[in-house]
Amino acid sequence: MSKPVSVLTVPAFKDNYLWLVHDGHNAAVVDPGDAAPILAALQELGLVLTAILLTHHHADHIGGVPALLERFQVPVFGPRHDGIAAVTVPLGEGDRIEVPGLRLPLRVLDVPGHTRGHIAYVRDDGGEPWLFCGDTLFAGGCGRLFEGTPAQMAASLDKLAALPEATKVFCAHEYTLSNLRFASAVEPGNAALRARVAADTATRERGQPTVPSTIAVERATNPFLRYREPEIAAHLRAAGKLHGGEAPVAVFAALREWKNNF
Ligand code: ZN
Ligand code: FE
């Protein structure tokens, strides 16, 4: 008997999270940068791998694919335009898939910025709403702009911010406290942010993940979704990080640039 689908957090490397979506019988993995912890979790829970889902081409998100394919001959879903040779089902904006073995429908969004072809997966079938966003939106922050422009990343994040507030945000790294230190520097007057710092600090002190967060929490506290807030532009200006260019995308670009060196 299969249970309702749920998401298991599988830590990997120093600060990555791999996501194992399963029903107690079959499982799909999102962004398996390393095969070993996934194989261990599958064995421990008695799960069969039925699909691999990828968000972008970086090694810490795809490195485990060959070893998983040796054990399980499963389809590899992934971005059409991110240069991943292992992808067997190329995807882009507006595509809908049903995850094999789980009868789980997911919708695909293009979210360029971190990489040129980065995609995200959204669950909006009436069950608990989920977002698997790789290195685009992080808890309290966003990914670096390795291949895209600030305008592209800002548009990608705006798209994610428009998802239902209850949406759980399964991002790929535990960067939260460092992100929130930066957020606090650029928006010190945000009471929701102060409350989040306290809550997430306590979570980390217990050794637990701060991920997933929710779209509601990100909209209330993440400066990269809040770059239109006057207080953020004012703090950038006061810190000498913004000179005249007041267009929202200029504020976003200055925020991302400051965070790179924070
Ligand atoms: Zn990445
Ligand atoms: Fe990554």
188 domain residue, yes or no: yes
1 domain residue, yes or no: no
Q: How far apart are CA 49 and CA 101, in angstroms?
A: 9
Ligand positioned closest to the Cα atom of 172: 2
Give distance in angstroms: CA of 24 to centre of ligand 1. Answer: 29
Q: How far apart are CA 144 and CA 129, in angstroms?
A: 26
Residues with a known catalytic role: 56, 58, 60-61, 114, 135, 173
The answer to whether the beta carbons of residues 68 and 79 sit under 8 Å apart is no
Report the share of the chain in percent with pLDDT over 90: 97
The average pLDDT across 103-122 equals 98
Q: pLDDT tier at 246 (50, 70, 90 boundaries)?
A: confident
The residue segments making up the domain with residue 212 are: 6-224
CA angle in degrees (0–180, nearest 5) for 20-171-216:
115
pLDDT surpassing 80 at residue 167: yes
Q: What is the CATH number of the domain that holds 79?
A: 3.60.15.10
Other CB atoms closer than 10 Å to residue 69's CB: what's the count? Answer: 16
* pLDDT for res 1: 62
131 domain residue, yes or no: yes
Q: pLDDT tier at 196 (50, 70, 90 boundaries)?
A: very high
Those residues whose beta carbon sits under 5 angstroms from the ion ligand 2 are 60, 135
49 domain residue, yes or no: yes
100 domain residue, yes or no: yes
* pLDDT for res 245: 66
* pLDDT for res 68: 98
Residue 99 is encoded by which pair of tokens? 């995850």
Number of domain units in the chain = 1
DSSP E strands in 80-118: the ranges are: 89-91, 96-99, 104-110
Q: pLDDT tier at 2 (50, 70, 90 boundaries)?
A: confident
- List pLDDT tens digits, range 206-242: 999 999 999 999 999 999 999 999 999 999 999 999 9
Computed over every residue of the chain, the mean pLDDT equals: 97
Give distance in angstroms: CA of 212 to centre of ligand 1. Answer: 17
88 domain residue, yes or no: yes
